[in-house]
Amino acid sequence: MVALFINGCASTKPDANRPMLSVLKQFEHAPEMGPGETNMPVRALPTNSVTMHWPGKGLAQHPFLYYTEGNNFLYVVNNGKVVWTYAPPHGGEMDDAWMMSNGHIIGCRSSSCYEVTPQKEIVWSYLAPTNTQIHSLQPIGLDKVMIVQNGLPPHLIVLNKKDNSVAFSHELPMFTNTVKSIHTQFRNCRVTAQGTYLVGNLVQGSIDEYDKDWNLIWHYDALRPWSEVRLKNGNTLIPGDNFGFVHEVNPKGEIVWAIETNSLPGIELHDVQTAGRLANGNTIICNRGGSNKSLLPPQVIEVTPDKKVVWVLQDYKDLPSCTGIQLLDEPGIPENPGELMR
């Protein structure tokens, strides 16, 4: 595959190897506000930030979908600028979102799930039942979605989007320290390319993998696993939330590659909620920064396998802190589990 770059940014010319580039045109003429959309919250812009000469081309490095639990807005960035924003209705933090191959964006706030078109029309929604929260969502094809419903007890559920009927459901294990707050139970659980289920319990500090018949086939004790990504080499990429690390763990439970909170010169990692592995072997790290309003760390970092930093995004003028990012110049169909390693 040959990547095309125009003015330092990945070209949005249709490319069979990078299908998401072709859907970006759909965001060019969207209405300013959609039905039920709320106004963008006012953010205090930094007044004393130091301009850094970071590697890469800032907003122009990649086209991407961007979201954060502190701001609860969706952002689409293309050609070095924010071209589309959207605030889904219903409350709660935004913890998972995907742009699919039809251009629709599917995501969740803790109280609801939704699918919105580039024209800001909601074409599917699901409200979390009373006393439950949803912090994990993944499209499975264009007609189904996997969610994890935190609750007493919690459940992993696959829904048919046509009528929200349940295609699959299984109760998840309960632990003493997860009963105290359903909010801290599960985050960014995933269906793998092999059809298994990766289930990370944030407060319990564990990741369990189940096969399609719900047999436990892998267990790993992890510090604050905010998300878990099954890589094509069979290893698992695990961000460590407020411990500020990203670990790659092999099936034996051995850490074979790691970025720790102070591994990258000049960059300190805080609240690493999500990370992903790119087709070229690089790793994307989302560095949310926590609840400290005066702390404005780099939001996104891209590093090579030998830990060279090739792109840093630190732009609080255009974007808030970062929970998650989906690069739209990557190969693969997002709704095919395992094709995007995020």
What whole-number distance in Å separates Cα of residue 340 and Cα of residue 330?
8
For residues 197 and 156, the answer to whether their CB atoms sit within 8 Å is yes
CA distances (Å), origin 97, targets 116, 188, 189: 11, 10, 12
pTM of the model: 0.93
Predicted confidence (pLDDT) per residue in 48-80, tens digit? 455 578 999 999 999 999 999 988 999 999 999
Residues 90, 98 contacting (CB under 8 angstroms) = no
**Higher per-residue confidence, 106 vs 181:** 106
**Is there a contact between 213 and 196 (Cβ–Cβ < 8 Å)?**
no
- pLDDT bucket at 5, cuts 50 / 70 / 90: very low
Q: Which domains does the chain have, with CATH numbers?
A: 8-28+53-327 (2.120.10.30)
- pLDDT at residue 237 greater than cutoff 60: yes
The stretch 5-21 carries a mean pLDDT of 63
The set of residues, in sequence order, having a beta carbon less than 8 Å from that of 252 and lying 6+ positions away, is none
The chain-wide mean pLDDT, for the chain, equals 91
Average pLDDT of span 278-300: 86
**Tell me, what amino acid is at 49?**
S
| pLDDT number for residue 11 | 46
pLDDT tops 50 at residue 12: no
| pLDDT, tens digit (0-9, with 9 covering 90-100), for 32-46 | 988 888 787 777 665
Ramachandran angles phi, psi of 25, nearest 5°: -60, -25
Q: Which 3 state secondary structure label does DSSP give 139?
A: strand
Looking at the predicted structure, is the pLDDT value of residue 290 above 90? no
The gap between the terminal CA atoms of the chain, to the nearest Å, is 21
Cα-based distances in Å from 255 to 113, 245, 246, 316, 337: 34, 12, 10, 33, 24
Helix (H, G, I), strand (E, B) or coil at 38: coil
pLDDT given for residue 46 in this prediction: 58
Does residue 17 have a pLDDT over 50? yes
